[in-house]
Structure 1
Amino acid sequence: MSGELSPIDKAKFVAAKKAAEYVEDGMRVGLGTGSTAAWLVRCLGEMVRDEGLRIKGVPTSTRTAQLAREVGIQVVSLDEAKWLDLTIDGADEFDGDLNLIKGGGGALLQEKIVATASDQMVVIADVGKEVETLGAFPLPVEVIPFGWQTTQALIEETLVSIDVLGRASTLRMNGDSPFVTDEGNHILDLHLNRIGDARQLAMVLNQMPGVVENGLFIDICDAVVVGYGDGRVEVRDINAGTIEEAMLDFAETDNLFTDLVD
């Protein structure tokens, strides 16, 4: 595999492989959405196939559900699972306190519901996702389609009194049409550049009529597994206050990963 993957994909793969070690037989596991989370689903599928791992997976999007079924993971709804032992998901940004920006893949609402219904949330990411201050990645805000332009104007007006560097927002598109989430909503991407007080911003946004949810995940993540292009991984546990490092070996394979394309 080492000869087939770019350094960024190697980083995603080793982070996912290491995070899979958190999963134990019989667990109910939230399965994230996005390119890094897809690596995790493939790793778990390999464990189901080769090691007899038995888990119930709660996907955070229709595409994750499809992938999970393809690799042999039993898929159940959150209502069926009721509560989860663990959620593993990616992130678009994370800071030193393990606060996150998520939603680049458009699944932030289901991702936040699933993550907060879990005993533990583990984030997998390549080292490029680490930032000193959140905000360089556009902040996704899910809004209902009705009156979305009014909601957008209200958000931009409110940002004047918030500690951010930028206040522009754009409607996320899918070709010539607005992007539509699994819940039938739209997404506004806020180009803030730097967020001075992420907790305050998250609270203010969610008080606005028309806003369904925002992509700031504050005090939700328990640990982050950071992957590097050379096979190194670093596990940062915010609760234990520990940082552990390891090196994962690559092996040539023609198994579940051969057709994985980001």
Structure 2
Amino acid sequence: MKNIKLAKINAARRALDFIKDGMVIGLGSGSTVNIFIKELSNFVKEKQYIVSVVPSSYDVEILAIKYGLRISTLNENPMPDIAVDGADVVDPELNLLKGGGGALTREKIVDYSSKKLIIIVDESKLKESIFVKPVPVETLPFSWRSVVEKILASYDCSIELRMCGKGKVGPVVTDNGNFILDVYFKDKQHLPSEVNVNLKLIPGVVETGIFSNKFVDAVIVGYENKVEILTR
């Protein structure tokens, strides 16, 4: 069985090669980014670097504080020097699917605002299509049923309102106070950019988990015993 945890550690550590003294670093979210945060903390202490981080979620902010990293915001630093984020799926063109943890909107804002975007994943995230998993769509609670009907009228798909698990009943509520719809597309060959645009034209849709490859500078893929860097 493949050691996925080791693969994630390898990807996270390789991302440290992109970190320089004085940087403002955007932080995405997910299990591999959580590893990166710990590694980053050790790295900057060892190098005696002064860096600041811009978290994309409350969860990541809490973890960054735990490891002693300096917290900043996009309002203080509107264009971070670099963003390091994970992904749920990476396709051959380096389009990404994100949002499994519910932070897609803030992740996209931080990632797209940064001067450079580095994605860190383990090898299991490489797929032929981002549509092998459901596409998260953040929606206003006020209009989620309307959004569902409009998506169903446009695509052959099924849709689920994401519900909470242990610790809370009812739907998942994002850091922005919104709901998340998980859209399961029957056709896996859709063009990601077109689906993203079409979904965002629906009133009530805040953001989608489809991230365009044009903002991705590199994808660091971790394996048990090596690291591969993919670029467009």
* TM-score range normalised by the length of the shorter chain: over 0.9
Q: Which TM-score applies when normalising by structure 2?
A: 0.94
Identity %: 38
Match of residue 189 from structure 1: 182
| Residue 116 in structure 1 maps to residue 106 in structure 2 | no
Residue 170 in 1 paired to residue 160 in 2? yes
C-alpha separation between the residues in 1 aligned to 2:161 and 2:117? 29
Secondary structure at 1:184 match in 2:
coil
Structure 2: runs of 5+ lacking an equivalent: none
Tell me how far apart the structure 1 counterparts of residues 84 and 185 of structure 2 sit (CA, whole Å): 27
Query: Following superposition of structure 1 onto structure 2, how do residues 89-128 of structure 1 map, counting pairs within 5 Å?
Result: 89-128=85-124
Deviations 1:138-193 (A, max 9, x none): 11000010021111111111114xxxxxx001011113310000000000001115
For 1:82 and 1:197, locate their aligned partners in 2 and report how far apart those are by CA, in whole Å: 30
Length-normalised TM-score, structure 1: 0.84
Partner of 2:227: 233
Q: Is the 8 A contact 1:225 1:236 kept in 2?
A: yes
Question: Between Structure 1 and Structure 2, how many residues are aligned?
Answer: 226
Where in structure 1 do 4 or more consecutive aligned residues deviate above 4 Å?
none
CA deviation after TM superposition for structure 1 residue 120, in Å: 0.8
Residues 147-226 of structure 1: pairs in structure 2 closer than 5 A? 147-160=143-156, 167-175=157-165, 176-193=169-186, 194-218=188-212, 219-226=214-221
Partner-residue secondary structure (3-state), 2:80: coil
* Aligned equivalent of 2:37: 41
Question: What is residue 60 of structure 1 aligned with on the other side?
Answer: 56
Residue of 137, 140, 160 corresponding to 2:136: 140
Please state how far the C-alpha of 1:195 moved relative to its aligned partner.
4.0
Show structure 1 runs of 5+ residues with no match. 1-5, 161-166, 239-262
Work out the CA distance in 1 between the residues paired with 2:201 and 2:140: 14
Matched letter for residue 3 of structure 2? P
Task: Kindly provide the CA deviation profile for residues 92-112 of structure 1, in whole angstroms up to 9, marking residues without a partner as x.
Answer: 001121110000110000000
CA RMSD after TM alignment: 1.2
1:198-241 C-alpha deviation (Å, 9 max, x unpaired): 11100000010010000100122110000012x31001122xxx
* Contact 1:48 1:72 (C-alpha < 8 Å) held by counterparts: no
Deviation at 1:51, TM superposition (A): 2.1
Given that 1:84 and 1:117 are in contact with CA atoms closer than 8 Å, whether structure 2 keeps it comes out as: yes
- CA distance in 2 between counterparts of 1:137 and 1:192 reads 8
